[in-house]
């Protein structure tokens, strides 16, 4: 059994409870024990680093210090924003021992920072440490028939010198993960565009404009579902969707799910474990596509035949 230190983040017990819940189911299936950091605190999210210098370091740093005490190799983080703050802080501290010493000695009571723990997003952990083959081996109900648009947002892969994970422009890890579950990941040009993030409350019209474009492109790509790995992206794309529809006078109606919900489904957990009633845009209709395999379009069939015939001639 593998063991990781788990940082759920504030939204895990509210807005993104379905993420936290399905993540735990999935990790149990994959034989990973998640040890939650006792008495963790908010990482400060966007607000701390926008407004202050020292708290922006100190808040995540307290969590890193607490995490190191658990002595696991890796700290897995559910929320993309928490992940980013923790990673940025770790980079600052590791590159600048004086800063670590200063904040450690003046602000943090819980102990020394050593820089010994590896910080990963849960998507990254699934992709890099568990591996697609193991994930594939646990699938009992293939998601074949379901077309998904994988949306990574900004912080899972950017900035590159902080995350060291996947491509900052066109990442594929979540796409490959979805394909391992049997789903079809569609080409999706807006997979790393920003959803508006923390402007959700203070600058809603910006969020509606940015998220609106992401939803529109996802819809055009033919996806039944948008898959995300961040609670803030989920709430911007899901909760704001009815308002976006109203303002743009178009019907979008595309559900936004966490990658762990689809993993749980493919691992054979019943639908009620996905906590679908928490979604503002209903999911049930989209999931009916599972098992419905579309016949290959005539045009593609013809092209394939032509290519085969040609290669025979050669």
Partner 1 sequence: MITLGLQEKNTFLEAVNKKSGANVLECYQCGKCVSTCPVSGYMDFPPREVMQMIKLGLKEETYMANSMWFCLTCSACSGRCPREIDIPAVMEGIRHLAIEENYHSQDKKVKEITRFHEIFLDMIKRYGRNYELRMMAEFNIRTRNLFKDMHLAPKALLKGKITLGHESTKSAKAIQKMYKLAEKLEKNK
Q: Which of 19, 23, 44, 208 binds partner 1 (CB under 8 A)?
A: 44
The dihedrals phi and psi of 156, each to the nearest 5 degrees, come to: -70, -30
One of 31, 277, 288, 307 touching partner 1 (CB under 8 A)? 277
Q: Is 278 in the site for partner 1 (CB under 8 A)?
A: yes
Q: Which is nearer to partner 1, 108 or 130 (CB)?
A: 108
Contacts within 8 Å (CB) and 24+ apart, 26-31: 26/260, 26/263, 26/264, 26/267, 29/138, 29/267, 30/126, 30/130, 30/134, 30/135, 30/138, 31/1, 31/2
Compute the distance between CA of residue 33 and CA of residue 71 in angstroms, rounded to an integer.
Answer: 13
Minimum Å gap between C-beta 169 and partner 1 is 7
The single residue among 86, 122, 197, 244 that binds partner 1, judged by CB under 8 A, is 197
Q: Report if residue 48 touches partner 1, rule: CB under 8 A.
A: yes
Site string for partner 1, 231-270 (x = CB under 8 A): ----x---x---x---------------------------
Between helices 231-239 and 204-220, what is the axis angle to 10°? 80
Minimum Å gap between C-beta 253 and partner 1 is 15
Q: Using CB under 8 A as the criterion, which residues of the chain lie in contact with partner 1 when the complex forms?
A: 10-11, 13-15, 17, 39-42, 44-55, 58-59, 62, 102, 106-110, 154-155, 158-160, 168-169, 192-194, 196-199, 201-204, 206, 210, 235, 239, 243, 277-280
């Amino acid at each position: 059994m593998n063991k990781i230190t788990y940082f759920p983040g504030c939204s895990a017990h509210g807005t993104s409870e379905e993420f936290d819940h399905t993540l735990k189911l999935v990790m149990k299936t994959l034989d990973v024990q998640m040890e939650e950091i006792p008495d963790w605190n908010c990482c400060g999210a966007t607000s701390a680093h926008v407004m202050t210098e020292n708290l922006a370091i100190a808040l995540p740093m307290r969590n890193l210090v607490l995490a190191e005490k658990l002595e696991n190799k890796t700290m897995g983080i559910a929320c993309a924003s928490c992940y980013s703050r923790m990673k940025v802080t770790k980079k600052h501290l590791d590159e600048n021992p004086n800063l670590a010493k200063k904040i450690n000695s003046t602000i943090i009571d819980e102990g020394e920072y050593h820089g010994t723990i590896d910080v990963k997003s849960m998507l990254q952990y699934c992709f890099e440490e568990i591996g697609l083959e193991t994930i594939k081996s646990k699938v009992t109900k293939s998601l074949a028939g379901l077309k998904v648009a994988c949306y990574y947002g900004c912080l899972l892969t950017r900035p590159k010198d902080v995350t060291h994970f996947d491509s900052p422009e066109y990442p594929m890890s979540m796409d490959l993960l979805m394909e391992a579950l049997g789903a079809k990941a569609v080409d999706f040009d807006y997979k790393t565009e920003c959803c508006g993030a923390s402007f959700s409350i203070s600058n809603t019209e910006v969020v509606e404009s940015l998220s609106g474009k992401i939803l529109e492109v996802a819809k055009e790509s033919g996806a039944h579902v948008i898959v995300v790995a961040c609670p803030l992206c989920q709430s911007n794309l899901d909760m704001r969707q009815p308002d976006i529809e109203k303002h743009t006078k178009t019907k979008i109606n595309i559900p936004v799910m966490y990658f762990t919900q689809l993993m749980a489904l493919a691992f054979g957990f019943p639908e009620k474990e996905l906590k679908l009633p928490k979604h503002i845009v209903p999911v049930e209709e989209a999931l009916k596509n599972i098992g419905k395999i579309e016949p290959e379009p005539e045009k593609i069939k013809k092209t394939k035949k032509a290519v085969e015939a040609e290669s025979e001639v050669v």
